[in-house]
Amino acid sequence: MINLKVKLAGVEFENPVMTASGTFGFGREYGEYFDLNELGAICVKGLTLEPREGNPPPRIAETPAGILNSVGLQNPGVKMFLKSELPQLKEVTRAKIIANMAGNTIEEYCEMASILSESSVDMLEMNISCPNVAHGGAAFGSNPDMVFEITSRVRAAAKKPLIVKLSPNVTDITEVALAAEQGGADALSLINTLLGMAIDIKTRRPILKRNVGGLSGPAVKPVAVRMVWQAANAVRIPVIGMGGIASWEDAVEFLLAGAKMVSVGCGMFREPALPVTVKNGIAAYMEKNNFQSVEELSGAVQVY
């Protein structure tokens, strides 16, 4: 009998598959495609203290094997999330709920962490890696000293386990991973999107109104697997792997690289029930290859 259960920072998940923030909204739409109890966890769209409309359009561009977005953290704000979204989500699923939070300042992150700690969410994910906003976001996540400072302050304000979501737009991922661990992070998630650009050669203008945006999708997967492997080997806290997962085989790669859980993101835009396929595929792979637990599979890559 294989065991798909995973424990991260004291929180037990039925299986290692979750949805990546920003690709699943608050779960309303996807409930029409599959039973949300199939998921280990749902990570909701990035929340800010006040509601945000996000960036002006166009803010999505398709690229070969990927998607560029510059959504700009559109969301209803933390209060509306707690009033309208979290209760409906709790009604339709037993999956663990992770609240992703973003802010302009360290104080805003701290305030959100303390508000969300009083709610029924299971974990907090601190987004210091959004490339689409003028303040906060990746500006915090690309400097190890800043990562240490913000993580320590938010850790002190939070009463729930804290995941720090890292940016791939850095030279050395292990520096920021270690800074987050030293600051008190309970887990890391990576990667957020890679900064990219697409230009319309007829108009000679960038396709995105904000000129640049974050690239995700299968195109980024090898970069993500490499960074997860490096980060997982540098820190002792658990790592959640994501970036371009489009099949169960992709997810197994992340687990072999050292992730304890995986997040499915924009792969769901093409195949809404992808997380279920991924979960079943991981289980079948474990059975066939004699892995009893996800813990055993995690980090089992045999490097040269």
132 binds ligand SIN (CB under 6 A): yes
Query: Which of these segments, 125-133, 156-164, 238-246, 271-279, binds ligand SIN (CB under 6 A)?
Result: 125-133
Q: In angstroms, rounded to a whole number, what is the distance separating the alpha carbons of residues 240 and 235? A: 12
Taking the complex as a whole, the smallest distance from the CB of residue 165 to ligand SIN amounts, in Å, to: 7
Q: In angstroms, rounded to a whole number, what is the distance separating the alpha carbons of residues 174 and 297? A: 22
Q: In angstroms, rounded to a whole number, what is the distance separating the alpha carbons of residues 256 and 258? A: 5
Taking the complex as a whole, the smallest distance from the CB of residue 88 to ligand SIN amounts, in Å, to: 21
73 binds ligand SIN (CB under 6 A): yes
Taking the complex as a whole, the smallest distance from the CB of residue 239 to ligand SIN amounts, in Å, to: 18
In the set 127, 189, 263, 277, which binds ligand SIN (CB under 6 A)? 127
Interacting residues with ligand SIN between 40 and 69 (CB under 6 A):
46, 69
Number of residues that bind ligand SIN (CB under 6 A): 13
72 binds ligand SIN (CB under 6 A): yes
Taking the complex as a whole, the smallest distance from the CB of residue 137 to ligand SIN amounts, in Å, to: 7
Residue closest to ligand SIN (Cβ): 130
Per residue, the 3-state secondary structure of the chain, as one string, reads CCECCEEECCEEECCCEEECCCCCCCCCCHHHCCCHHHCCEEECCCECCCCECCCCCCCEEEECCEEEECCCCCECCHHHHHHHHHHHHHHHCCCEEEEEECCCCHHHHHHHHHHHHCCCCCEEEEECCCCCCCCCCHHHHCCHHHHHHHHHHHHHHCCCCEEEECCCCCCCHHHHHHHHHHCCCCEEEECCCEEEECEECCCCEECCCCCEEEEECHHHHHHHHHHHHHHHHHCCCCEEEECCCCCHHHHHHHHHHCCCEEEECCHHHHCCCHHHHHHHHHHHHHHHCCCCEHHHHCCCCCCC
In the set 71, 82, 113, 242, which binds ligand SIN (CB under 6 A)? 71
19 binds ligand SIN (CB under 6 A): no
Let me know if 130 is a catalytic residue: yes
Taking the complex as a whole, the smallest distance from the CB of residue 30 to ligand SIN amounts, in Å, to: 18
Q: Which is nearer to ligand SIN, 137 or 285 (CB)?
A: 137
Stretch 178-197: interaction string toward ligand SIN, x if CB under 6 A: --------------xx----
Q: Which is nearer to ligand SIN, 16 or 22 (CB)?
A: 22
243 binds ligand SIN (CB under 6 A): no
What are the residue numbers of the active site?
130
Which positions touch ligand SIN (CB under 6 A)? 22, 46, 69, 71-73, 127, 129-130, 132, 192-193, 214
